[in-house]
Each structure stands twice: as structure tokens, then as C-alpha cells.
Structure 1
């Protein structure tokens, strides 16, 4: 019998990381999580702590001693730890840049020492102001000016990608880049501007559902359970390293339509209210009109495509938030 693969998940007490840890344990693998709990939550992984194949270290990924020990006991590192969410990025640009770039550098150095396959989480934000939809991995990238802090996040994640792919080319470290497009589901915090948990909580409490801008900007939302299957597939496929992969749904919806669907599925009477961007974030805030991934590359490699549609996703989040509300 083949011995289980040893995984290290950075940011593993976060939304995606905790779901990934669960799925890997169910498949019989060994899972270690490192998280400083700055955005992750212990409650996300509390039910996993008694598991004999699960280990948790509360530490920063920039702690070289901790990362060296954890990497030495790992076959695969899934690097999810990052500063995420538009609100956090706009309010704390220094933290965003330093966390993303220095954190990824620390992870890659540890991975290189022990030859761990490394999967780096990136974001659809790197496509910036691109207008060619859907976005494909080899498309040109167009970012806004450096005076607008939201582009610092996109640029920092691009540097992460450049760095990861450079480690592959120069040192032969197997590196996979994953560009996530709006991953959603139970356990996602609405603290940093994540739209679906925010809308659902507002609807369940009977508060106004607040749509930023005119609401005609469109997005594609992918359930975390589908994203986890994509990550696991990329972790094991021999031909995955050295490339970038979009991971997301191609079902597009405007934010106005999303607000209406949330209100209907939550059986809420909440009014839908529009708030100008400069009131929600800061003066001069720029948003993307459309965000749709081309998932041909990952589908060709793994046969992967999302199984859950938007209404299924919303029902799952509403059920989860309703339970938390009445807990």
C-alpha cells in the first residue's frame, strides 16, 4: 500500500485551507497547517485537531525555524497564506505587499531545501484592467497606476507568480500557480469585503443589502468544494508544475442580480441599496467590469470543471450563516 502524501498548508486555518485540510484527511493523507490566525480562525479547524494525521502550528510563515521544520516533514506545500480581500488591501497596503511577497519567498526557500512540490495561490486580480474576456493564462496584463493602492495586491501576487516560476526554471523546484476567481462557500468571512457572505448576512438580518457602485459589474463564483478538487488534482498530476492555471466558474452574474438572488433564496425583505465606491472604499477606487476565467487549460489537464451552480452555492452559504446566526 502506498504511504500517504504529507501536505503542509500555509494559511490552513482560513476559508479555503480548512476545507482543503478536511478533504485531504478524508483521502488518507497527512496534513500539517501553519497559520498565525491573523485572518484564519481556529474554529475553522477545531474539529480536525484531535485527528492523528493532523498537526497545527500557530506561527508566521516568515518564521524560518518553524517553516524549515514543517517543510522537512512535507512532500507538498500548498501556499494559501496571503493578505486577501479588497477592503484589507485598500486600508493596509504595506501589510499586503510585505505579507504576499516576503511570505512567498520564505515558503519557496523552505520548499527548495527539501524539494517539496509547491502550489502557490494567486488571484484573478492579476488580470487587472484587461478587457479581453474570458481571461486566459497567457493573456497580457494591464494594471492601473501605482498611485492606486488596489493595484498593489495584483502586483504583489504577480511577483509571487514570477518568483515561483523562477524557482522552477532556475532550481528545478516543481511549482504550480493557481489563479482563483471568487471562491465562495461556508466559513468565508465577510470581514474583508467578500461579497456573498456580506450579502447573505445582511439578508438574514433584514438589513439593507449594500451593492457598491452601480452593481452592473459581473463576477463568476466557484464553490470551495470544487476549488479543493482542482487543488488536489494539481497537487498530484505529474504534468502540472511550471504552469499557471485559472480555477473558477464560468457562470457570470452581475452584482445586482446576485443581490436579488440572495434576497429571494434567503426569503428576505431587505431593501437593496447602492453605495458609491468612494464611500465604501476610498476616493479614486477602480473596479473591474467583468471577471470571467477561461478554464480550458485545467480542464484539459485534469478534466476539471465546477459541479455546483450559483444557486447551489448560495443555498449552502445561507444554510451555514443561518445556523451561525441562531447558534
Structure 2
């Protein structure tokens, strides 16, 4: 999941998209869409990933020497769609209304600095793991986000409020 800046201790760089968006939602700030948020990504729930790894361990004859992608291609979204979904889910789990300006567009140069390069699409091919182990992920993106954002709201909302109050007071 990465880290929540200023809360999870000293961290360098920029957290990944889920952590960036979670951080912004917790702080009631717009979610920053790099280059319009058109990149495509998939997300897998940690319990699904652990299930896949356990299957590999329990089936060495079928897993040894294989390279498996572990992901959930059914959870494919653009980063813009992810932002919209996360804003809806966070509104539900926090009981707070949606942000007035839920997203803003920023350039990759502005967000990451000069020289940043990334792929437009990251979708795992599940052919080998499905054929060798019969494994498929089960958790929908909505359920993954609801579980994750519920946890983060319970864990971080109060800490972020204190950090903001301390900043405003100084």
C-alpha cells in the first residue's frame, strides 16, 4: 500500500496511487490526476494475493520453475475512474460528503519532476497461474477499496487531524 506522508514516519518520494489518493481523501484535498488520469491499472486485494502465494507453497510440483503474475485483471480501471470510485467509497465509509472538487489534473512533470516515465497500462496476464494452480482472484475493486478505506479512516483520520491542527496553530 505504501505510506501516508507525514504520518507513517519519514518517507522519501511519492507514494503509489492508492496511498496518494487515500492521503488526499483523509486530508479532504482534491485527488491529483497525473496527465489526466488516463493510465490503466489493476488492483488486487491483499487476501487474494496471499491466497495465491499459499497455493504456490502448497503445490510445489505445479509451482516450481514457474513465473506467476498475481493480480486481478477484472479490477482494471483508469486512474481517473479509480479516483472517482475512491471518492465515493470514502464518502460512504467516513460519513463525510464528497469533496467539492474531487480531482484536479496535473502534469507528470509537475507531479514527479522532469524525466519521469511510466507505462500507460499495467494489466497482469493470469494464464499461467490459472492453468497451473486453478487460481483466480475473488475480490472486486469496490470491496477492496471499501475495506482499505475503512481501515485507513479508522487508523489515520485522527492522526491527520492532529497534524493539520498542529500545522495551523504554528
| TM range, smaller chain | 0.7 to 0.9
Q: Hey, what does 2:62 align to over in structure 1?
A: 239
**Per-residue CA distance 1:57-112 (angstroms, 9 max, x = gap):** xxxxxxxxxxxxxxxxxxxxxxxxxxxxxxxxxxxxxxxxxxxxxxxxxxxxxxxx
Q: Hey, what does 2:10 align to over in structure 1?
A: none
Q: Hey, what does 2:89 align to over in structure 1?
A: 265
Q: Hey, what does 2:127 align to over in structure 1?
A: 296
In structure 1, how many angstroms separate the alpha carbons of the residues matched to 2:99 and 2:79? Answer: 18
Q: Hey, what does 2:3 align to over in structure 1?
A: 189
Instruction: Write 1 or 2 for the structure with the bigger share of strand.
Output: 1
How many residues end up aligned between the 2 structures? 141
**Per-residue CA distance 1:199-249 (angstroms, 9 max, x = gap):** 123113211211222211100100111000111111121221112111100
In structure 2, how many angstroms separate the alpha carbons of the residues matched to 1:223 and 1:301? Answer: 21
Alpha-carbon offset, residue 190 of structure 1: 4.4
Change (3 A) 1:300 1:190: farther
Instruction: Map 1:188-207 to 2 at 5 A.
Output: 188-190=2-4, 192-207=14-29
Q: Hey, what does 2:154 align to over in structure 1?
A: 323
Change (3 A) 1:220 1:301: same
SS at match of 1:245: coil
Q: Hey, what does 1:18 align to over in structure 2?
A: none
Q: Hey, what does 2:164 align to over in structure 1?
A: none
In structure 1, how many angstroms separate the alpha carbons of the residues matched to 2:112 and 2:158? Answer: 31
5+ residue gaps, structure 2, are 6-13, 92-97, 160-170
Quote the RMSD (CA, aligned, Å).
1.7
TM-score for the superposition, normalised by structure 1: 0.41
Q: Hey, what does 1:280 align to over in structure 2?
A: 111
TM-score for the superposition, normalised by structure 2: 0.76
Instruction: Map 1:55-204 to 2 at 5 A.
Output: 188-190=2-4, 192-204=14-26
In structure 2, how many angstroms separate the alpha carbons of the residues matched to 1:288 and 1:234? Answer: 28
Q: Hey, what does 1:250 align to over in structure 2?
A: 73
